[in-house]
Amino acid sequence: MTTEESPLLASEAEDARQKAHDALYNRFSRSKKRVIVAVVSWAGLLPLFVSGSFVPAIPQIAREFHSTGPIINLAVSLSILTAALANLLWARYSGFYGRRPIYLFSFPLLCIGSLGTAAAQDVPQLMIWRVVQAFGASSGMSVGAAVIGDIYRLEERGTAIGVFFAACLLGPALAPPAGGLAAYYASWRVMQLALFVAGLSAVLLVVFFLPETVHPDVKGLTRYLREKGNENKKWAWVWLNPFSSLGLLRSPNVMAVTLAGTFVLITDFVLLIPLAYTIGVRYDIKNEALIGAFFLPAGLGNVIGAPLGGNLSDRVVAKWRAKRKGEWVPEDRLRATTVGALVLVPLSIFLSGLVTEFVEGTPGIVMNLVCLFFNGIGIDMVLSPSNAYYVDVLHKKSAEVMAASSGFRAVVMAMTAAVVLPIINAIGVAATNALSAGLAWLGFILLWCTIRYGAQMRAWLDVGYSTIEDA
């Protein structure tokens, strides 16, 4: 029976739900949130330093171990593949045990792997220790993004994730020059010792400055102990399947955005991984420090593009919610990706290939630097809103969906890193870059389809999508 009190009771219940929802994001002060973002940003920067600082030293390592560039380059592919698989493990357990324990367990492994890599005496030892190093470092990105989702509301999340990724992407900007300088003026091993110190500092920062951020209703251990009638216990070991996160890729929306991000990110690898053998050889640049400096424009573009894309995506979300009189459509955030996916990414790599092939001397170098810069901006104008979209649409599984998507990308990137030099040797720089540009445009089409038909795509298969109440 309906009474006059029913609307009031419903309103009070809705207010209570909203207050409980708001309380989750009011647990930490604004200044404390900034400290948390700083800590997880440092943690997120390290995996990119592990990979980026290694690339400029590949020729030196190949000479020292009497090997070849493509063979040593396999250490890059192997570490990327390891990071992809480990990411799934860390993300799955971070939702169950919390974010903080994952950092405290993974980063000591980074320290051990860095010491082992610095002491490696042959190629097999190098490969083994690089795997340990990458395994330890890999928690930084997916768990860090989940921490951001834990502490920031929907309308603030894109900007916060953009700032997080901007800080993380100082790695691609600074790691190659740092690795190149270390290799040229001392030894590539010095950079590995520096990574040991960086990993140790990350452990200390987590110990002293990072509280647990995972929402109580999300933490799997709490539910598990309650279901087992062991609510008084604080800890229990539970075996979890890290590959279960990959099931989230069954979502047409998640898969489409993941493929789009993969195609965009391929352009970065096609430009940067073989840089010593493309731009370096074309313009007769043999100094490792100078080769490393060529990564700076791309890294600077990343640092600009990540917060720009994140902030723009927040503005787009607010604009379209106002247009729809408060209705939230998650795919609106992806509208912020269009300029990067349609224009900046594909055109920059396409033009870089033509410049490298046909423009000689200083003009060619300058034009390539410009292309690298705009490619960096474009990539993160796609990836930053996309990562915020993952957290929006699957908030309670934010770490898992981030790990699944980044893991998928990383497997493809590992294969790309392994085959890009042979492909360039077979068909040339311009043709390889044109092929990569075509893939980037295909990524734009996937994003456009998701923006246009996102609601229908989510209806095809529900993998536990968020609603406005729990986003």
Residue 288 C-alpha from the chain's centroid: 26
Q: Between 380 and 155, where is the model more confident? A: 380
Q: Which range, of 21-25, 300-304, 401-405, 408-412, averages the lowest pLDDT?
A: 21-25
Which of 2-6, 152-156, 254-258, 361-365 is the most confident on average? Answer: 254-258
- Mean local confidence (pLDDT), 344-357: 92
On the 0-12 / 13-18 / 19+ scale of CB atoms within 10 A, 433 is buried
Task: Write down the pLDDT at residue 78.
Answer: 79
CATH class of 31-212+243-458: mainly alpha
Task: Write down the pLDDT at residue 244.
Answer: 81
Interval 172-229: pLDDT, tens: 667 777 787 787 788 888 888 999 999 999 999 999 999 988 776 656 666 656 666 6
Average pLDDT, the chain: 83
- Mean local confidence (pLDDT), 381-407: 84
What are the DSSP calls for 252-320, one per residue? HHHHHHHHHHHHHHHHHHHHHTTGGGTHHHHTT---HHHHHHTHHHHHHHHHHHHHHHHHHHHHHHHHH
**pLDDT at 370 > cutoff 50:** yes
CB 143 within 8 A of CB 399: yes
- Mean local confidence (pLDDT), 376-381: 92
- Mean local confidence (pLDDT), 139-164: 81
- Mean local confidence (pLDDT), 268-292: 77
Task: Write down the pLDDT at residue 371.
Answer: 92
* Cα four-point dihedral sign 148, 150, 153, 154: positive
Q: Please report which confidence band the pLDDT of residue 288 belongs to, taking 50, 70 and 90 as the band edges.
A: low
**pLDDT at 124 > cutoff 90:** no
CA distances to 30, 167, 277, 387 from 66, rounded to whole Å, are 54, 37, 18, 41
Percent above pLDDT 70 for the chain? 88
Task: Write down the pLDDT at residue 202.
Answer: 93
Interval 418-443: pLDDT, tens: 788 888 888 988 899 999 999 999 99
Q: Between 257 and 245, where is the model more confident? A: 257
Q: Please report which confidence band the pLDDT of residue 1 belongs to, taking 50, 70 and 90 as the band edges.
A: very low
Task: Write down the pLDDT at residue 15.
Answer: 60
pTM above 0.85, yes or no: no
| Separation CA 383–CA 426 (nearest Å) | 30
Which single residue is written with the structure tokens 């089409």? Answer: 445
CB 210 within 8 A of CB 40: yes
Q: Between 227 and 253, where is the model more confident? A: 253
Ranges of each domain in the chain? 31-212+243-458
Task: Write down the pLDDT at residue 16.
Answer: 58
Q: Which range, of 177-186, 323-332, 333-342, averages the lowest pLDDT?
A: 177-186
On the 0-12 / 13-18 / 19+ scale of CB atoms within 10 A, 377 is buried
| Separation CA 30–CA 324 (nearest Å) | 30
Q: Which range, of 70-74, 119-123, 233-237, 360-364, averages the lowest pLDDT?
A: 233-237
Task: Write down the pLDDT at residue 449.
Answer: 95
Interval 438-451: pLDDT, tens: 999 999 999 999 99
- Mean local confidence (pLDDT), 48-77: 77
Q: Please report which confidence band the pLDDT of residue 373 belongs to, taking 50, 70 and 90 as the band edges.
A: very high
Task: Write down the pLDDT at residue 138.
Answer: 86
